[in-house]
């Protein structure tokens, strides 16, 4: 598989301006927890590709995703929630806080392959 390209994630600020919605592609049962980079879906959505060692059962992989993003972006876990795709690999993650700072962190870490 080719490494992901260094492009921006299709993240967007919510209508109230208090959160950022980040599209994520999660791979459970990986060799290590890490943000892999950015991958484009067939529809053109650029998702943050994330791998976690946890299995995809009983919400373990979702919990590992939230923990990894919180640690990487230096945010409390309570600021991050999965709003769509809880049982799918393609997810939407809601990140609460200052949108400018969040977008900067998302793009900085999303573009490291």
We report the CATH number of the domain holding residue 29 as 3.30.1200.10
The lowest-confidence range among 1-10, 36-45, 104-113 is: 1-10
Q: Tens digit of pLDDT for each residue in 30-49?
A: 999 999 999 999 999 899 99
Mean pLDDT on 10-20: 88
CA distance 89 to 25: 6
| pLDDT tier at 11, thresholds 50, 70, 90 | confident
Residue 3 included in any domain: no
Neighbours of 48 (CB within 10 A): 27
Alpha helices per DSSP H over the chain = 60-73, 99-110
Domain count along the chain: 1
Domain ranges, residue 20: 12-110
Could you tell me the two tokens for 27?
């791979």
Higher pLDDT, 99 or 15: 99
């Amino acid at each position: 598989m080719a490494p992901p390209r260094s492009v921006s994630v299709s993240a967007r600020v919510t209508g109230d301006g208090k959160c950022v919605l980040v599209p994520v592609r999660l791979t459970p049962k990986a060799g290590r927890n890490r943000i892999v980079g950015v991958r484009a879906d067939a529809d053109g959505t650029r998702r943050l590709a994330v791998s976690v060692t946890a299995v995809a059962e009983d919400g373990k992989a979702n919990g590992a995703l939230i923990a990894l993003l919180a640690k990487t972006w230096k945010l409390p876990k309570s600021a991050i929630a999965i709003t769509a795709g809880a049982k799918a690999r393609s997810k939407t993650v809601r990140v609460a806080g200052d949108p400018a700072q969040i977008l900067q962190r998302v793009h900085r870490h999303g573009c490291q392959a």
